């Protein structure tokens, strides 16, 4: 059985972007009220006294937009300094990153994934639902700052949407030629914006690889992370290309993760709501730490049965919760 030791922690469900595929424009999301968010202290208690003792060692901070969380640098420092933390990373849209990239690094963050769906500021703004001044440059500045500070690996996440940014695949892949960056193409999932998915559909990783292979050739990279990406390389390139194919390929059997939402729900599977634990309410109502550990242990034991099983019959469901709410 796969060892589940990786926890994705949503620090906040709010976001300063409204990406078409994640938070469709015009949709009203119910944001979590401040008093319902896990406090810093509760979050650290859960990490240190519940998750680490049951075997979690890798943590990714996400959201919503994690950099909107007050005192995010202090939280990074606190988790990074725990002796059992083997890996701490963050997924961000990069908009607020440039001024605090060095502080995050100094606090102990070493790995960062930044979402960048387009190199064209106009298309980028369309995707993220920005109507005023373009936000592309500020995100690009965040990426450059992360590069200068020395985050390694520095990964760029691209969700590919047919007819929106799929014509940029080669330009995005070319970023890996001169820089040791990792560009990861993510298949668009029917989660968050079912309408857009219905209109546009999705592009498979195999098609993307073929485009890149036709242009430069493509070899399998030696590295294989613990994550779901299949990693390739343009021959001679400094960086790598990752393909996350959750639509075309089922990797549930090698799933090593659980998700903790910003309001303290522990979710064993991204696409299946069975078995979730409301850890915040338990903590606030006085359930003891050993009891919480036991609940999480029991959830770990049944996770293989919960892992999403609908893949074999094709992914047809559209999920009402968005990635920003779940903690993507
Ligand atoms: N706000 C941060 C960001 O955008 O990087 C972190 C949270 S976001 C929910 C985490 C990841 O989920 C991003 O890489 C985003 O592109 C991805 N995502 C959101 N909705 C998605 C969808 N419908 N299909 C595939 N990936 C999605
Ligand atoms: Fe915000 Fe990230 Fe969702 Fe875009 S993908 S709306 S940046 S949470």
Compute φ and ψ for 4, nearest 5 degrees.
Answer: -95, 105
- Return the residue whose CA atom lies nearest to atom 11 of ligand 1: 328
As separate numbers, helices (DSSP H) first and strands (DSSP E) second, the chain gives: 11, 12
What pLDDT score was predicted for residue 310? 47
Look at residue 138 and give its three-state secondary structure. helix
Say which range, 101-110, 170-179, 319-328, has the weakest mean pLDDT: 319-328
Decide whether any atom of ligand 2 lies within 6 Å of the 93 Cβ: yes
Helix (H) or strand (E) holding 184: strand 181-187
Q: For residue 150, count other CB atoms closer than 10 A to its CB.
A: 11
What pLDDT score was predicted for residue 272? 78
Decide whether any atom of ligand 1 lies within 6 Å of the 188 Cβ: yes
What pLDDT score was predicted for residue 321? 64
Helix (H) or strand (E) holding 10: strand 6-10
Decide whether any atom of ligand 2 lies within 6 Å of the 113 Cβ: no
The number of the ligand 1 atom at minimal distance from the alpha carbon of 326 is 9
Residue 157 has pLDDT above 70, yes or no: yes
Question: Ranked by mean pLDDT, which of 103-107, 251-255, 324-328 comes out on top?
Answer: 103-107
pLDDT band of residue 25 (cuts 50, 70, 90) is low
- Mutate-to-test residue for ligand 2 from 23, 27, 126, highest number of ligand atoms within 8 A of CB: 23
For the chain, the average pLDDT equals: 90
CA–centroid distance, residue 15 to ligand 2 (Å): 6
What pLDDT score was predicted for residue 224? 56
Decide whether any atom of ligand 2 lies within 6 Å of the 124 Cβ: no
Q: Which fold has domain 6-326?
A: TIM Barrel (3.20.20)
pLDDT band of residue 225 (cuts 50, 70, 90) is low
- Domain ranges, ordered by start, for the chain: 6-326
Nearest bound ligand to CA 247? 1
Quick one: DSSP state of residue 38? Answer: P
């Amino acid at each position: 059985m796969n060892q589940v030791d990786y926890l994705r922690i949503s620090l906040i469900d709010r976001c300063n972007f409204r990406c078409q595929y994640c938070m469709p424009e015009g949709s009203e999301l119910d944001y979590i009220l401040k008093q319902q968010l896990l406090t810093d202290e509760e979050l650290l208690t859960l990490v240190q006294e519940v998750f680490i003792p049951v075997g979690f060692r890798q943590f990714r901070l996400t959201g919503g937009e994690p950099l909107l969380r007050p005192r995010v640098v202090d939280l990074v420092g606190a988790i990074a300094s725990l002796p059992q933390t083997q890996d701490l990373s963050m997924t961000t849209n990069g908009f607020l990153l440039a001024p605090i990239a060095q502080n995050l690094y100094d606090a102990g963050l070493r790995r960062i994934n930044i979402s960048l769906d387009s190199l064209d500021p106009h298309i980028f703004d369309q995707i993220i639902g920005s109507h005023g001044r373009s936000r592309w440059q500020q995100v690009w500045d965040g990426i450059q700052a992360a590069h200068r500070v020395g985050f390694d690996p520095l990964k760029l996440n691209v969700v590919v949407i047919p007819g929106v940014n799929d014509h940029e695949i080669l330009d995005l892949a070319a970023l890996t030629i001169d820089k040791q960056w990792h560009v990861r193409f993510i298949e668009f999932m029917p989660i968050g914006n079912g309408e857009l998915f219905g209109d546009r559909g999705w592009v498979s990783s195999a098609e993307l690889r073929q485009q890149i292979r036709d242009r430069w050739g493509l070899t399998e990279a030696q590295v294989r992370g613990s994550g779901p990406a299949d990693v390739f390389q343009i021959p001679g390139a400094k960086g790598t290309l990752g393909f996350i194919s959750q639509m075309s390929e089922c990797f549930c059997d090698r799933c090593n993760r659980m998700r903790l939402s910003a309001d303290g729900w522990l979710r064993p599977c991204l696409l299946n709501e069975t078995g979730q634990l409301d850890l915040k309410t338990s903590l606030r109502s006085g359930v003891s730490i050993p009891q919480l550990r036991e609940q999480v242990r029991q959830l770990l034991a049944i996770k293989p049965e919960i892992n999403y099983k609908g893949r074999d019959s094709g992914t047809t469901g559209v999920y009402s919760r968005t990635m920003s709410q779940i903690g993507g």
